[in-house]
Amino acid sequence: MMKNISRTVLLIVLAIFICCVLYPALLWGVGKIFFPFQAGGSVVYGPGKKPVGSELIAQPFTQDQYFQPRPSAASYNAAASASAALAASNYALRSRVANTLGPIVRYKSGPRAGQLVALDIEHWFQKDTFGGAPSIVSQWAAAHGSLAQAWVSADSGHVRYVNKWAASHPLDVAQFVKQNPGTPKPGAVDFAVAFFTSFSKENPGKFPGIVSQAGAAVAEIGPINQGTDIQSTFFDQWRQDNPDVDLIAVPGDMVTTSASGLDPHITFENAEFQLDRVASTWAQLSHRDQTQVREQIRRILEANAFSPLRGLAGDKMVNVLKVNIQLQRQFRPVM
C-alpha cells in the first residue's frame, strides 16, 4: 500500500516539475536566446529610447501626420473584447465612417477621376445649403444632438469655447433654461444644439475649429470653413446631396471595427489611401517638398510591408506603430 502511495506521490511531483518548472523554463530560455525581442513583449522605443508601445497591441493615432489603425470596438484596450454591431442606418456608424473617409476618398470616374473629394466638400459646405435648406451646421446639430454633444465633450478647448459663448449670449441661455426645466443649471454639453444653432446664424458656412496654435499653450478655437474637420464631419451630408457621384471603394479595414485592441496592423491598401494625407501634413511640418516626402514615406511602407505566411493568410500588411515611429524620426519639424 505504502509502495503504491509513494509511487503516486513521486509521479505527481515529477509531473509538476516537468509541467510547471522544466517546460516553462525551457520555453523561457529558447525565447530569450533565439527570440529576445518577441519574448520581451515586442516593445517599440521612440525618441529618447522611451517605450511607446508594443508591435502586438494597437493604439489610437488621430493626428493627420500619422497613419491611423483600424477602428477598435474595444477602444484599443488590449485586455478587452467588444462588438460594434451597428446598423447601416445608425448615424453613429455613418458618422464614424464619414470621419475616416472625408479627407481621403477619391472620385472613381468622370473628369475628376482619381482626385480627392475633400475640396469639393469644403466648397459645398461654404455655400451653407443642405437639402435645399440653409444652415448646414444648424441642421446637423438639430438632427444629431448626440454628435453635437460629443463634439463639445471631446476636448477641454471645446468646452471653454461653448462656455464663452454662453457667457456672451444670456438670452439664448435663458431661452434654453425655459425650454428645458429639467436642466436648471445646464453645462457646456447641454448647450450643444443651442450653441451650434446660434453659431450657424452668426457664422454661415463655417464650423468651430482650431484657427491657431502656433506659440500658444492652448489651441485657439474659432470659425473655419476648410480643413479635415469640415471634410470629416460633413462628408455624409455632402454625399446625401450628391448621391450619384461615383467614388472609389475603400479597403474594408478602414471602416470596420476590430473586436479587440490586439489588431496593430492595417492592409497595405489601407495605408496607400492614407498616404497623401500623411505626406501632405509631414511636408508642411518639416518644410519639405511634398512629392519627395510622399516618395520617402512610400519607401518606408514598402520596407515594412509583409504578407502573413507568404501571402497564404491575407494581403500585404504594415504595422502602424512601427511606421509612425519611423515617420517621427525621419520628418521631425525643422525649428
Q: At what angle do helices 91-101 and 145-153 cross, to 10 degrees?
A: 50
Q: How confident is the model at residue 335 (pLDDT cuts 50, 70, 90)?
A: very low
Q: Which of 192-201, 215-224, 318-327 has the lowest mean pLDDT?
A: 215-224
Q: Which of 53-62, 104-113, 200-209 has the lowest mean pLDDT?
A: 53-62
| pLDDT above 70 coverage of the chain, percent | 95
Mean pLDDT score, 155-159:
93
Nearest to 248 by CA among 124, 98, 113: 113
Are 105 and 116 spatial neighbours (Cβ–Cβ below 8 Å)?
yes
**Beta-strand relationship, 317-319 and 265-267:** antiparallel
Q: Is the pLDDT of residue 31 over 80?
A: no
Q: With H, G, I as helix, E, B as strand and everything else as coil, classify residue 297.
A: helix
Q: How confident is the model at residue 212 (pLDDT cuts 50, 70, 90)?
A: low
Give bridge partners of residue 129 from the DSSP assignment: 134
So what's the pLDDT on residue 225?
95
Question: CA torsion 25→29→32→34, rounded to 10°?
Answer: -140
For 84-128, write each residue's pLDDT tens digit: 667 777 777 888 888 888 988 999 998 999 899 999 999 999 999
Largest CA-CA distance found in the chain, in angstroms, rounded: 95
So what's the pLDDT on residue 62?
81
Q: What's this model's pTM, rounded to 2 decimal places?
A: 0.74
For 315-331, write each residue's pLDDT tens digit: 799 999 999 999 988 88
Instruction: Quote the cell numbers at residue 23.
Output: 517546460
Q: Is the pLDDT of residue 222 over 70?
A: yes
